[in-house]
Structure 1
Amino acid sequence: MKKLLTAFLVLLFAAPLFAQTADEGYSRPLADVLQSIEKQFHIQFKYDKKMIDGKQLQGADWRIRPWSLEKTLQAVLSPFDYTYVMDHGKYKVKAYEYARTTDEEGKEFLDYLKTLYNDKDSWEKRKAELKSCMREALRFPALVPAKPDSKVILTPKRKYDGYTVENFAIETLPSVYVCGSIYKPLKMKGKCPVMLNPNGHFGDGRYRADQQKRCAMEARMGIIAADWDLFAWGESLLQFDGTMHRISAAQSIQTLNTTRVLDYLLTMKEADPKRVGITGGSGGGSMTMLVSAIDDRITLSIPVVMLSSHFNGGCPCESGMPTHLCGNRTNNAEVAAMFAPKPLLAITDGGDWSSTVPTLEYPFLQRTYGFYGAESQVEDTHFPAEGHDYGFSKRKAMYEFVAKHFGLNINVLKDASGAFDESKVTIEKEPQMYAFGPKGENLPANAIKGKEALMAMLKKVGF
């Protein structure tokens, strides 16, 4: 009897797994649990220690599913509202993001959407529902009637090799301005296509060299092209500090800015309303897909490094308003599909969330375009070895697609050897591109400043 008692006591105190009881919740430090998962599944975690230290996980060992790493991570991280992404071969633990899921969930999402429509009629019904809801989600019924009557502010033109540039400022909401630049062909003959170039979250904003090259090359090809600042970026900082870029209303304001820029461009007698394109990278790609879906004036769309079924854009300026909750949930692949049957080129790469497009989102787009017998109107140019940018190779793909569908002479952009040549583009310094002067000295007197003034104005117009 004494030997049995001794053996029981050894088991009780030597095996920590069984030292806990259900009453204690089988609690273990989260850091210890993650170490156990690393050993069991032969992986590595990456995380901010502040997120993990001091956290206790109830029912810890019961949450580990030895047959599924994915289900294990979901069970272990979800109690803390954490999730994970792959980061250079490691599983990075991070706070839950409403705009981002996994590749696998993206596939499940698209498979679900396919059950909602199987032909043109059922898809058109779904598309109409989404379009109406998105405009409501952006509060456009309230914002659109508030268009001010002020004239567009224009600076003198600068003439370069084959194109001109002038800066503009448009009052898109009462006392709120958007500033940008218009690039035009040096010699305009007949009607010219129009191209919108919404900016993304790249360093130096719209003033960076690759953005200037893109717009200037479009103009040299015969297009009236425009780009403009993100809300609370660039000259918008004269009115609102950078923190305001991440308020939910930024998505509505930026979408309205895009439509107001197009309103202005189409007032030009040289503009061809039958050839209206839009292209942007990253956050500009999000804007490209959204505006293409809700504004029937767009006739050609090129979202760059942004198309995805599992990422809707991490900035509130892309997904802060409930546009992706429309139709009992949608995603950017379906938003892009709303452009069918008009010409759409997705430009994607292997270094970000658009890496799955060739095998996942592009077939979904082809299916939707197939409802119209228009599969040839949608393309994907994929750069598996490239990353998240609107680099030279991606611009070349855009130039070719635009020239083909707008009936333009692509050869004017090439050198004697037949290679694309951007060397004739003059890269301006940032102050040259300001609409309100080098120091903002020409900011209109009625311009409001700060978050409180903006919120009061939005409330006044019914936002």
Structure 2
Amino acid sequence: MRFWSRSSCVTLLLTVPVCLLFLAMPLQAEPIDTKIYKEGELPADSRLNPLKDLNGHFPFTVPESKKAWEERAADLKRRILVATGMWPMPERTPLNPVIHGKFTREGITIEKVYFESMPGHFVSGLLFRPENAEGKRPGILSPHGHGGRLHEYSEKQVLQMITRGQERFEGSGRFPKIARCVQLARMGCVVFIYDMLGYADSVQISRKLAHGYSEPRPEMENAERWGLFTAQAESRLQSVMGIQSWNSIRALDFLESLPDVDPTRLAVTGGSGGGTQTILLCATDDRPIAAFPQGMVSTSMQGGCTCENCSLLRVGTGNVELAALFAPKPQAMTAANDWTKAMMEDGYPELQKLYSMIGKKEDVFCNFYPNYPHNYNYVTRAVMYSWFNKYLNLGLEEPIVEDDYEVLTKEEHAVWNEEHPAPAGGDEYEVSLTRQMSDRDDALIASLEPTDEKTLAEYQRVVGGAIETIIGRKLPASDEIQRTKVDKQERDGYLLFKDKLTLTSRGEEVPMISFFPKNTEWNGHVVLWVDGAGKSALVNDQQEPTAEVRQLIESGNAVMGVDLLYQGEFLVPGTEFNETPKVESPRAFAGYTFGFNHSVFASRVHDILTVIAFIRGDEHAPESLSLLGTNGAGPLVAAARAIAGDKVNKAAVVSNNFRFTQLPSFRDPQFLPGVVKYGDVPGLLSLSAPYPLWIGGEEAGVPTVVEKSYSAAGAADMVTSSGDSEELIQAAVEWLIAK
């Protein structure tokens, strides 16, 4: 970027051949061609490749040091919490648990349970206890996985599994999820198996919706009344996975609260979808001391159900790394002839390396059973029993052999009956639940609005931290950025540069044009102008710099314009970009796309950050850098400023009252998962405090949360606004020029 150097520009001017005719006449400017690439050429950008989906490859690269892992782990834990709607952690409202219908099997008692994970939202399940046990016992939480706790194999299937060595008894083989609960209770543990949404006695959200959602429901998509899987829900990070993850935390609260449970000896185990819940709960909750996440620790398929995916969750990570967050605590699993079949070569060695690095090599274990399909069968359960025997200090003699049990009747399985009627569900309940969660989260974020430096720091930690996760990128290092010079022209009153910036570490490319003052001495200031139409917006219909660009140049500023992803030269000529790409799936679920890939909005912010890092990293860095966002790019600039902080001296954002709640679909290019939860556009703007900020097009003036943030920072005079919808760009330029 040496073209920002005063000395280089002087040298250029001195070496340009000058003739009398040239001196006597102004340069006759030919129309500006803002194109960087040859005809038919697109940027060599990795983001133009097919999107990653749940069937991709998700390797775990172990950091080089314990400290590096701790930093990575902190980011990942926040990612899980943000993605599942639990950042900041919601209030734990009263559970109001009901335990009833006690009955027995050999050596154990079984009871029916329901409680409220949120007011009016019920979690149901069965509680298994050792009969006549004394003192406090270990507590084991058991999320069941697909098929539910009532998952039943036919007599023919069970006999086949017994023949193949997968099961030992007809009873335990017929209901394998109940079998593990019975055996663990016989081993002296208190076990709670709880229903995932739509299974067994979880009736308020249907199984068809929670696990089979496929087609959009226009009647449930409204800014005031919305259901799950809608743009409104996704922009608030409301998802089936999020609800189930919250249910898991509350289920652990329930288990821990029981008088016969030792709160220092809690463990979690689940298979398949229950394995996914085990991974996430153990990654984010400090209470479990041992885990057995079965069937989902894999660098391959990450979980195919809508209940196992949500926006933001696995962007840049995968299940093996998420399972690693439980380290250094002991965990084990088995691999089978399914998507886990490569674990012994790809996944488990990395877990061993991590555990070894932190001095706990023996506390992670995986065994491979290639003859068995996806399972939590008798053989796998035996590994789990031994693991918990050791790490829950049960003191039982090995090997532990599972015994059969008398299967439960339908009446014994059922939590709801005449005395305990099932709660109502359906569309109206779904809408009331999303509204309840929204009101809860709005109140929680509002309670963080700052009043002084201390509360500002906490607000920025929580809301700013969430936006960091949602955007998913910090400023790159300048040595990751390569500049390719394409063209340089001397024109009437300015120099024009054409360049390509490549973020080499990511394979991303940004086409860029720059205007450098020639007749006026450069004042050391750079304005990065980001427009919704891309860099072509910096020239007028006559293909000359617009009046506002001219004004900036003549005031001594350098001006840069860029095409962000899917703008300008990222598009085939004659095409428009009105709908964001999605993965190949017939199901209209945002989590399948944005659970593994950045949104277009976030990717465009990445491009802005790349250019900021390029400017700031050059040896002839300018004295100041300003951002200007116009024509729909205001929110992009607000988000980039929130990440870049003091690397941007001034930011001018033309918002025109845009709010993300206005978007009708997650396919809209402006869609950004979670942004509404954290304050929408005003929330993004508030994170600019205490640095100079101009806001254009907000009819009500500076939004309240922005005012509060700047006042708390002692910088109330650093934010200003213009609500007049006319001449906003001119007003922004004048503010940028002003000292």
With normalisation by structure 2, the TM-score equals 0.45
C-alpha change, 1:359 and 1:446, in structure 2 (3 Å) is: closer
**Structure 1 partner of 2:71:** 125
1:433 paired residue among 413, 416, 436: 413
RMSD value, Cα: 2.7
Alpha carbons 1:206, 1:228 under 8 Å: kept: no
1:377 aligns with 2:351: no
The offset of 1:440, in angstroms, is 9.2
The offset of 1:122, in angstroms, is 0.9
Aligned residues: 352
Alpha carbons 1:348, 1:355 under 8 Å: kept: yes
1:210 aligns with 2:210: no
Single out whichever of 173-182 and 265-274 deviates more from structure 2: 265-274
Alpha carbons 2:341, 2:370 under 8 Å: kept: yes
2:331 paired residue among 312, 320, 344: 344
Single out whichever of 290-299 and 153-162 deviates more from structure 2: 153-162
**Structure 2 partner of 1:270:** 260
What amino acid is aligned across from residue 414 of structure 2 in structure 1?
Y
**Structure 1 partner of 2:511:** none
1:177 paired residue among 100, 119, 122: 122
The offset of 1:128, in angstroms, is 1.1
Single out whichever of 170-179 and 237-246 deviates more from structure 2: 237-246
C-alpha distance after superposition, 1:331-378 (max 9, x if no partner): 1110111111111102211x2110011111000101111121111111
**Structure 1 partner of 2:380:** 394
The offset of 1:133, in angstroms, is 2.3
The offset of 1:241, in angstroms, is 5.1
1:191 aligns with 2:191: no
**Structure 2 partner of 1:299:** 289
1:237 aligns with 2:210: no
What amino acid is aligned across from residue 338 of structure 2 in structure 1?
D
The offset of 1:291, in angstroms, is 0.7
What amino acid is aligned across from residue 286 of structure 1 in structure 2?
T
Single out whichever of 330-339 and 444-453 deviates more from structure 2: 444-453
What amino acid is aligned across from residue 338 of structure 1 in structure 2?
L
C-alpha change, 1:238 and 1:197, in structure 2 (3 Å) is: same
Uncovered stretches (5+) of structure 2, i.e. residues with no partner: 1-47, 153-173, 214-227, 230-238, 442-676, 678-739
The offset of 1:455, in angstroms, is 2.5
What amino acid is aligned across from residue 99 of structure 1 in structure 2?
L
**Correspondence list, 1:270-289, <5 A:** 270-289=260-279
1:261 aligns with 2:248: no
C-alpha distance after superposition, 1:78-114 (max 9, x if no partner): 99x7xxxxxxxxxxxxxx872121xxx44xx33xx33
1:157 aligns with 2:92: no
Distance, in Å, in 2 between the alignment partners of 1:358 and 1:150 is 41
The offset of 1:312, in angstroms, is 1.8
C-alpha distance after superposition, 1:228-272 (max 9, x if no partner): 111122212255352233555110111111111110111122211
The offset of 1:451, in angstroms, is 3.0
What secondary structure sits across from 1:323 in the alignment? coil
1:309 aligns with 2:299: yes
C-alpha change, 1:143 and 1:449, in structure 2 (3 Å) is: farther
C-alpha change, 1:419 and 1:118, in structure 2 (3 Å) is: closer
**Structure 1 partner of 2:113:** 168
Uncovered stretches (5+) of structure 1, i.e. residues with no partner: 1-77, 82-95
Alpha carbons 1:183, 1:219 under 8 Å: kept: yes
What amino acid is aligned across from residue 237 of structure 1 in structure 2?
V
**Structure 2 partner of 1:5:** none
C-alpha distance after superposition, 1:19-43 (max 9, x if no partner): xxxxxxxxxxxxxxxxxxxxxxxxx
What amino acid is aligned across from residue 138 of structure 1 in structure 2?
T
**Correspondence list, 1:19-34, <5 A:** none
**Correspondence list, 1:64-103, <5 A:** 98-101=53-56
Distance, in Å, in 1 between the alignment partners of 2:97 and 2:440 is 21
C-alpha change, 1:141 and 1:431, in structure 2 (3 Å) is: farther
Distance, in Å, in 2 between the alignment partners of 1:385 and 1:239 is 37
What amino acid is aligned across from residue 374 of structure 2 in structure 1?
H
Distance, in Å, in 2 between the alignment partners of 1:442 and 1:346 is 38
C-alpha distance after superposition, 1:372-399 (max 9, x if no partner): 1111111102211111111111111111
The offset of 1:290, in angstroms, is 0.9
What secondary structure sits across from 2:314 in the alignment? helix
1:458 paired residue among 425, 437, 453: 437
Alpha carbons 1:206, 1:227 under 8 Å: kept: no
Alpha carbons 1:142, 1:461 under 8 Å: kept: no
Alpha carbons 1:166, 1:183 under 8 Å: kept: yes
Alpha carbons 2:335, 2:366 under 8 Å: kept: yes
Distance, in Å, in 2 between the alignment partners of 1:398 and 1:217 is 11
What amino acid is aligned across from residue 395 of structure 1 in structure 2?
R
**Structure 2 partner of 1:46:** none
C-alpha change, 1:461 and 1:159, in structure 2 (3 Å) is: same
Distance, in Å, in 2 between the alignment partners of 1:315 and 1:456 is 24
**Structure 2 partner of 1:219:** 185
Alpha carbons 2:203, 2:423 under 8 Å: kept: no
Single out whichever of 207-216 and 386-395 deviates more from structure 2: 207-216
**Structure 2 partner of 1:63:** none
What secondary structure sits across from 1:236 in the alignment? coil
Structure 1 or 2: more helix by fraction: 1
Which protein has the larger Cα radius of gyration, Structure 1 or Structure 2?
2
1:357 aligns with 2:343: yes
What secondary structure sits across from 1:129 in the alignment? helix
